[in-house]
Structure 1
Amino acid sequence: MKVSYKKFEEMAKDAFYRIPSEFRDRLDNIDIVVAERPEAEFFKERRFSLRNLLGLYCGVPLRRRGIFYSNVLSDRIILYKDNIESRCKNEEELKRKIEDVLLHEIGHYFGLSEKELRSLEKGTK
């Protein structure tokens, strides 16, 4: 399922505003961006397929921020458009997948590990 870059951004924005306000309001110093696909050069030392990477959180998780956390660049959540689209058959699936990936990466922002997030995700399906 392919959509325009602009449409994908709109869907991501809508997904963001569907996040409960008690979580959304705690997000601070974070940008959510869309990229077509992961940059191979950036991930050359990773041991996984870049086609499987749907999103990425880059930053200092909330749990690890100390009293000296200030004057830093914004954290980022990157949503990889091509990889997410490749897993969806229609627009409704695409909306759900964007929301799932965004929530997963926000979980990393709050300090949850990959293992903790996978466990939570299994419990909701």
Structure 2
Amino acid sequence: MNEPGRGHIHVHAHRPAPSLDDFAALAEAAFEALPDDFRAMTGAVIFRVDDFPPQEVLDEMGIEDPFELTGLYHGVDLAHRSVLDPNPEPSMVFLYRRPILDEWAERGDVTLSELITHVLVHEIGHHFGLSDDDIDAIEGE
């Protein structure tokens, strides 16, 4: 169940919250700012920004509150791919605008661009076959 007032973000009194297109531009800028080698290793991944994850994704993951999921990697990670295996669906990284905005507003200690970069890199880590624990350890260094 959502907390009272949760999801009602006031970024600035006179400006609306960043749109899906704004988020896509921030995500693209975040990806372009990553080191060349990292981007090259990422390969062909489609990045997509949605307001929230679909209900079926939340159900599959056992998540009740859609604000708890800020991003998701969908596909076969690089560690489990084989040239002999068909790969009919492209790898995708989803960023969820409303949960990211909510976390950003609650934290107040990072810029929106920094948070989007964090979520993007985290999901690309899953593309590389890293677990959440692996990613947390790398970020801690």
Question: TM (normalized to structure 1)?
Answer: 0.87
* Aligned equivalents of 1:13, 1:54: Cα separation in 2: 16
In 2: Cα distance, 1:70 partner to 1:29 partner: 15
1:113 aligns to 2:131 (yes or no): yes
Alignment of 1:32 with 2:47, yes or no, is yes
Which of residues 94, 115, 130 in structure 2 aligns to 1:78?
94
RMSD: 1.7
In the aligned structure 2, how far is the partner of 1:82 from the partner of 1:3? 10
- Paired with 1:25 and 1:96, the residues of 2 have a C-alpha distance of 21
Residues 1-125 of structure 1: pairs in structure 2 closer than 5 A: 1=11, 2-48=17-63, 49-89=65-105, 93-123=111-141
Runs of 4+ in 1 over 6 A off after TM superposition: none
Name the amino acid aligned to 2:70.
L
Rg larger for: 2
* Matched length: 122
Note the C-alpha offset of 1:71.
4.7
Bigger relative CO (Cα 8 Å, ≥ 6 apart): 1
Output the CA distance in 2 between the equivalents of 1:34 and 1:105: 13
The answer as to whether partners of 2:67 and 2:102 remain within 8 angstroms in 1 is: no
Normalising by structure 2, we get a TM-score of 0.78
Q: Structure 2 stretches of 5 or more lacking a match? A: 1-10, 12-16
